[in-house]
Structure 1
Amino acid sequence: MKLFGALFILVATTWFGFDLAKQLNARPKQLRQLKSALRSLEAEIMYSHRPLPQIARLLTEQVPKPIASFFDSFATYLEMGQKSAGEAWLLSIEENWRLTALKQGEKEALKQFGQTLGQHDRYSQQKHIVLTLNHLEREEADAVDRQTRYEKMVKSLGFLTGLLLVILLL
């Protein structure tokens, strides 16, 4: 019975470490997906002249989840027609943020971008998108740095914590 308990503790703490490492790995990936979506948004605004709800639906199909969920709810709010583009953007951020591995810095950059969405001409909108992309570039560099620094450590720490607990309890 002790062996079963020890094995359970070891597996649980190791799983916890790997789960934390997975979150460290997901953030840079999601930032790249978000930047790609914003670049597509920029291209669509500048060259296709499609309505914003159509662009958001198109982006939903182009990017993987959880970023796609954000654009899906953004398109839904726009299609309902009761919210401005900025309000729909902010509501989409709040509604889908918990699904992402993104941090507060990215959230603030996206909120600031959302306040300008749909209020300017195409060229000013392009400048706001580029500004947001630059901010996300810095955040991605930070996320990659954190990932390389801490990913292996978190995995090892999970296992070693479980091993320590098992030794102390036996």
Structure 2
Amino acid sequence: MKWAGALLILFASFWIGAEQTKKLSDRPKQIRLIRSALQALEAEIVYGFTPLHESARKLSERLPPPINELFACFSELLTSTELDAREAWKESLANIWPKTALTESERAILLEFGETVGKHDRVTEQKQILVTLNHLERQEEEAYEKQKRYGKMIRSLSLMGGLLIVLLLF
């Protein structure tokens, strides 16, 4: 019975480490997806003359979860409610935020983007998207560095912590 408990503790500690490592590796991927989505949004708005709600709907069909949910919710709120683009973006971001691996710095950047989306002409929208893309690029580099630096360490420490607990119990 002791061995079964020890194995259970080791498995749980390994699983916790794997989940934390997954969050570290998901963060740069999700930032990259948001960056590519914003680039596509820029092209749709500036060159395609597509309305914002239609651009967001198209993006939601092409992106993987949870990022597609951001644009699907944004499009839905723009078409089905009386919310302006800023409020719809803010609410959409709040709805999907718990499902992402993003940090508060990315949230602040995306909220800042939401303050200006849909309020200006095409040229100003393009400039705002480019500013947001630059900020997200820096965040992506930081996230990638954190993943490289801490990924293996977290997994190893969690396994070692589980082993320490098992040794203390025996």
* Residue 90 of structure 2 corresponds to residue 86 of structure 1: no
If the length of structure 1 is used for normalisation, what is the TM-score?
0.98
Normalization by structure 2: what TM-score?
A: 0.98
Residue 50 of structure 1: how far off its partner (Å): 1.4
- Say if 2:26 is the partner of 1:26: yes
The separation in 2 between residues aligned to 1:20 and 1:118, in whole angstroms, is 36
Deviation, structure 1 residue 81: 3.8
- Partner of 2:34: helix, strand, or coil? helix
Partner of 1:126: 126
Structure 2: runs of 5 or more not aligned: none
Asked if residue 54 in structure 1 is aligned to residue 54 in structure 2, the reply is: yes
How far the C-alpha of 1:53 sits from its partner, in A, is 1.1
1:143 Cα deviation from its structure 2 partner:
0.2
Matches within 5 A, 1:38-49: 38-49=38-49
- Residue of structure 1 equivalent to 2:105: 105
Shift of 1:166: 0.5
Instruction: Determine the C-alpha separation between the residues in 1 that align with 2:10 and 2:98.
Output: 28
SS of 2:118's partner is: coil
Task: Kindly report the root-mean-square deviation, in angstroms, between the aligned alpha carbons of the 2 structures.
Answer: 0.6
Query: Number of residues paired by the alignment?
Result: 170
Letter in 2 for 1:30: Q
The answer to whether residue 48 in structure 2 is matched with residue 10 in structure 1 is no
Deviations 1:34-92 (Å, cap 9, x if unpaired)?
00000000000011111111111100011111000000100110011411111101110
Amino acid at match of 2:127: K
How many angstroms apart in 1 are the aligned matches of 2:40 and 2:62? Answer: 9
Partner of 2:74: 74
| Alpha-carbon separation, structure 1, partners of 2:95 and 2:154 | 29
> 1:113 and 1:155 mapped to 2: Cα distance?
35
Structure 1 residue ranges (4+ consecutive) displaced by more than 3 angstroms after TM superposition = none
Identity, % of aligned positions = 48
| Aligned-partner Cα distance in 2 for 1:104–1:114 | 15
